[in-house]
Structure 1
């Protein structure tokens, strides 16, 4: 049987050691994965910022859509059309009907019929206007503040519509959630004096 010469063993060990040193040097010089590692460090704050910007834009857009819908629907009360159409309805039926009028003008992003709460109050003049707070002392959305009062001509009317909007990105700005359950309350309102529609 052929035996390897013993004198070659140290040179083989030296060659392996040199190969290991060369591989480490090559690894130090190699920058193929540096981009991926740098992106891993930057990606979390980048995507958090991106989604926070998108969510903020959605909240502003939803608020604007709701404000416009409340203003448009309130014209039906302002001109007396809504009162004429629902003269025989109960206050709760009128509140549901008015909510449907608002929801007909709201597009996308919210489940209007289940999320929207509507409050309509009448007053003798603007100086006597008082409304209940929508958030109680524990930071919860107070549904007791909502009702419907049918109004007549020349009466002052305050309309409020509110939704609990979900907050998805809280990493950068937790203060956007203003309710104890982690949601944001979006409120749209309108205040006006009814026309003399009885004349």
Structure 2
């Protein structure tokens, strides 16, 4: 009887194979076969790899752009202070009675290619008795805001003058920018300064 059952089973399997029907595999074998087939399938590999590296790549790209613009802004401030301070040193500001607002506009004319002349810009002009007496009062308070304790005193002929320009630069990168932020609102205070002795421009004064 067992021989007849076994023979019948063999005949059924042969018939299924002749018809193109594969016998059922054990569950574990079926899963293993599908896993191997999935492991060999590399379709969409590039898309998966790009999805993995895209976020850090764009963060680094934005950070590089952010740092580049920040250094360019600092260079713009350096150029602006050199051109504006020269007008103080040569006596043009004193001789023409230039006001603080007018001097601010002079600075703006030099930096407006990249920087906006709004509340983020601050200017400090002070006179000292000697170069050894020059100090740099803090521009920020404990909360990371501009103190507003700035002066505008271009001095007279022969005076020692310190000119400082500050600009609150907004950081674009949320991750790397936090390491450079020193102001409230996610900005970094850019600053540049120059100290000099005014030329003997007494003859220019009215």
Q: Which runs of 5+ in 2 are unaligned?
A: 1-14
How far apart, in 2, do the equivalents of 1:21 and 1:57 lie?
A: 53
Give, in angstroms, the shift of residue 160 of structure 1: 0.7
How far apart, in 1, do the equivalents of 2:176 and 2:84 lie?
A: 36
- Return the match for 1:105 from 97, 105, 110: 110
Please, what is the CA RMSD of the aligned residues?
Answer: 2.5
Give, in angstroms, the shift of residue 75 of structure 1: 0.5
Asked if 2 retains the 8 angstrom alpha-carbon contact of 1:99 and 1:113, the reply is no
- Listed one character per residue, the Cα deviations across residues 31-61 of structure 1 (whole Å, up to 9, x for unaligned) are 1211111111111111111111111111111
How far apart, in 2, do the equivalents of 1:95 and 1:63 lie?
A: 22
Matched pairs, number: 183
Shifted more, 167-176 versus 181-190: the winner is: 167-176
Shifted more, 167-176 versus 95-104: the winner is: 167-176
Asked if 1 retains the 8 angstrom alpha-carbon contact of 2:76 and 2:114, the reply is no
Aligned twin of 1:4: none
Q: Which runs of 5+ in 1 are unaligned?
A: 1-6, 88-93
Q: So what's the TM-score if we normalise by structure 1?
A: 0.80
- Return the match for 2:161 from 113, 137, 157: 157
Which one has the largest radius of gyration? 2
Asked if 2 retains the 8 angstrom alpha-carbon contact of 1:79 and 1:195, the reply is yes
Give, in angstroms, the shift of residue 12 of structure 1: 8.0
How far apart, in 2, do the equivalents of 1:130 and 1:58 lie?
A: 29
Aligned twin of 1:29: 40
